Structure 1
């Protein structure tokens, strides 16, 4: 895509804002990052290195130095997006590649002010090259632990099923996720094109995950409208919604999300990149915020969308007029919506207050 109406991703270190003489650096705002996909977290330079290492031919869209132009509101556009993602994923072949990806993703998050990261992954996508499903998840979790030690970033994993696959596969993944709940897995998701199939087809997988103590965090309300968010709530008993932004089209649904304190993982840059909204100003951040719906801004797939975490907060600032006090509240909502331990949450909330006071 062309990031944000054809320009570069917004600069989160800008020092002027709507008549204010100075504004606080958004990279210094402590925050939790709750919507980041595994392969999509990769640095473009790392993709080029790995492709060269393994002799993988990358299309121009992945080697041109700028985010590809994408639009996924039709079947062809989504297929192209998925094809680019699959090509990038094919370059992750060894435990060392996985270690590098997670370490670099953590470094990028720390640079953007993240103090807690919940990264989402479907281990079946990596299993063929990593010795099977269980070894793949164990390699990923080992990489997460190593990166957390090296960077100081708290990192946990959401195991995600693919709604394009059979629901029985999702049940297998849910059982696996529960098995590793004490080793870094905190949630269970459902990704890929939400226009395909029905959320209720995956109800048993999510029941397994919830009964095992995991957060239910399926995607909904991005490419499909408010009904897909209701399905996530009614059929999967979601505690968090991946995206959820289309809930803004239904006032009753907004009230329901707010009253239940269900956090929506809103990803403004990817919403524009995929054609859900035409420009950053169209993403209904203010509608959700004013309705009291908790939000956690996320980068989704920065490899393909070109904007990492702090840039999402800059969109809220520049395109939607969020004040620093409101941006601090967004950061608090991200922390409260996370699976970080309570003492960690309280520490981060105090750091956010310090950013605002400073």
Structure 2
């Protein structure tokens, strides 16, 4: 008896999508960080050279420390305006090459301020290059999310929120959101509330990280303290039906990054990520790549995992893509065109 042929499938690369969870340093090509390290005379750890991509055993403090050490080593290679512009440009073209129409890249300008004269020039460099590259063929349009760090004082977050508010807008090269990143086990989420109120008054999307290293209780604390529009990750809301129900009821979108969750040890295998649970409950899910430089997987591979590890058919992948635009701050004309392109993708012959 001959084997049954697999049903033809449409290319996830050709599926138009928005990318809402990508960190600035973590977006770098591994070849780029190696070139910058050589250029600036910096020695990289083996996990970014001969042993790339790294793997982390668990999401405990030691696992996160190892991740953060690698991230800091990569960030140390970014030493000025030219390096920063290169990162934005390559991220836009890399995303465009895998079907992204709209990218909201997350940056903490304090990390690069010492090399360019302050946090304002650092942000302006990113925004200027985002505007420039967004008009190029093959590149995704790029907007910016300014992110504060949980590892720093909440007063610094207020300073960053005021800076983000100054450049708030709705198109490419604008600040469209304000986030809170780094180890969610550190700091008191409620203490960052004043910074998020500043961002809210400016009309920015509120997009803090929560529900990755900590469970559903972290999601609840973040919803209570910050009233976000989206959650970076939020995947562990699936551990408590009441919390997940609240996420759905309050229409908080989840920026789920399945393969980075596995790399960090939050889940053992891609099939363990509760993507089906979240979608079945009615949550709006936007897949993201998080830090391709560290985790070795880009946005297209998250969609491929949804298909291979969770059995998502093409119609379901199209709904994920639509959800990514619905959760974005992309202009209405970008969203409308993406909707037409997603429908065309789904109507085209498979295979």
Give the TM-score normalised by the residue count of structure 1. 0.93
Task: State the match for 2:67 in structure 1.
Answer: 81
Q: What whole-Å deviation, never above 9, does each CA across 1:274-321 have from its counterpart, x for those lacking one?
A: 000000000000000100000000000000000000100011000000
3-state SS of paired residue (2:199): helix
Deviations 1:90-138 (A, max 9, x none): 1111211111111111111011110000000100011011111111111
**Mapping 1:169-188, distance limit 5 Å:** 169-182=156-169, 184-188=174-178
1:107 counterpart = 2:93: yes
TM-superposition CA deviations, 1:70-101 (whole Å, max 9, x none): 24511122111111101101111121111111
Which deviates more, 248-257 or 216-225?
248-257
SS in 1 for 2:103: strand
Unaligned 5+ residue runs, structure 1?
Answer: 1-17
Q: For 1:160-189, what per-residue CA distance to the aligned partner results, in whole angstroms no more than 9, with x for missing partners?
A: 000010000000000000001136000000
Distance 1:59 1:242 in 2: 27
Structure 1, 279-288 or 100-109: larger mean CA deviation: 100-109
How far 1:21 sits from its partner (Å)?
A: 2.7
* 2:154 paired with 1:167: yes
Q: Distance in 2 between matches of 1:145 and 1:246?
A: 35
Q: Mean Cα displacement is larger for which, 30-39 or 340-349?
A: 340-349
Residues in 1 aligned to 2:136 and 2:315: alpha-carbon distance in whole angstroms: 32
Tell me the equivalent position of 2:223. Answer: 233
1:20-31 matches, within 5 Å, as 20-31=6-17
Structure 2 distance, partners of 1:331, 1:19, is 27
Q: Does 1:121 align with 2:107?
A: yes
Farther-moved stretch of structure 1 (296-305 vs 130-139): 130-139
* In structure 1, distance between residues paired with 2:245 and 2:216: 13
Give every structure 1 segment of 4 or more consecutive aligned residues whose post-TM-superposition deviation is greater than 3 Å. Answer: none
Is 1:54 the counterpart of 2:23? The answer is: no
Aligned ranges for residues 274-293 of structure 1 at < 5 Å? 274-293=264-283
Give ranges in structure 2 of 5+ residues lacking alignment.
none
Which residue of the partner structure matches residue 331 of structure 1? Answer: 321
Shift of 1:65: 5.9
**SS of residue paired to 1:26:** coil
| Offset, 1:66 | 2.6
Q: TM-score, normalised by structure 2?
A: 0.95
Picking from 245, 250, 254, the partner of 1:264 is 254
Aligned partner (choices 223, 230, 242) of residue 252 of structure 1? 242
Instruction: Name the count of aligned residue pairs.
Output: 341
Local SS of the residue matching 2:285: coil
Give the Cα–Cα distance (whole angstroms) in 2 for the partners of residues 103 and 85 of structure 1: 20
**What is the rounded CA distance, in whole Å, between the counterparts of 2:298 and 2:216 in structure 1?**
26
* Partner-residue secondary structure (3-state), 2:122: helix
Q: Say which SS state the counterpart of residue 181 (structure 1) adopts.
A: coil
Which of the residues 186, 203, 207 maps onto 1:196? 186
SS of 2:10 mapped into structure 1: coil
Deviations 1:29-49 (A, max 9, x none): 000000000000000001111
Distance 1:71 1:248 in 2: 22
Deviations 1:207-228 (A, max 9, x none): 0000111110000000000111
State the partner residue of 1:301. 291
State the shift of 1:343 in Å.
2.0
Q: CA deviation at 1:238?
A: 0.3
Q: What is the CA-CA distance between 1:260 and the residue it aligns to?
A: 2.1
Distance 1:134 1:21 in 2: 52
- Taking the aligned partners of 1:91 and 1:109, their CA distance within structure 2 comes to 22
1:273 lines up with 2:263 in the alignment: yes
> 1:39: which partner in 2?
25
Alignment root-mean-square deviation, CA: 1.2
